[in-house]
Amino acid sequence: MNTNPTGKERIAVFPGSFDPFTIGHYSIVKRALAFVDKIVIAIGVNEAKHTFFTLDARKEIIHQAFANEPRIIVDSYDSLTVDYAKKVGATIILRGIRSIQDFEYEKTIADANRKLSGIDTILLFTEPEHSFISSTVVRDVLRYGKDVAEFMPPGIDVSKMKRK
């Protein structure tokens, strides 16, 4: 167990819409397991946002990707991320970044989250081979009937997942 000096469990929240959860997201989570005890993959629910996949389908993709990893919890929330993080006992917010533009955005959010809650954000850079993959790219490729297997976590087939 990766306990800190106080002996408390290190819990990270990895928030996002995950529409869908891609191989880039998967890689970030797998790498973060090296320094946290548990990761709550938290799907933010925003009724004003029109998603491609249903909430249940997005949860199923993540459950399938981590079926053999007991340190992963999949949940959804409809609140500020820091409020949700406090609710689940997280001390870290985990985020992935692909580019300098992502960094600028994530730094602003991380600063606000820390000011509001004292919870730090850890940013992991996406591996270079995944840096062009985003949920938007995957959705666009799916809309045109193309195979997205190489953009998804191993063994995940989204072609039969329920869409909105």
- What amino acid positions are annotated as catalytic residues? 25, 49, 98, 135
Q: What is the DSSP string of 55-93?
A: HHHHHHHHHHHTTT-TTEEEEEE-S-HHHHHHHTT-SEE
Contact 13, 94 (CB under 8 A): yes
What letter would DSSP give residue 150?
G
- Residue 140 half-sphere exposure toward CB, CA atoms < 13 A: 5
d(CA 144, CA 130): 21
| Residues 6 or more apart whose Cβ sits within 8 Å of residue 57 | 20, 158, 161, 162, 163
Structure-derived torsion over alpha carbons of residues 102, 105, 108, 111, reported in degrees to the nearest 10 = -40
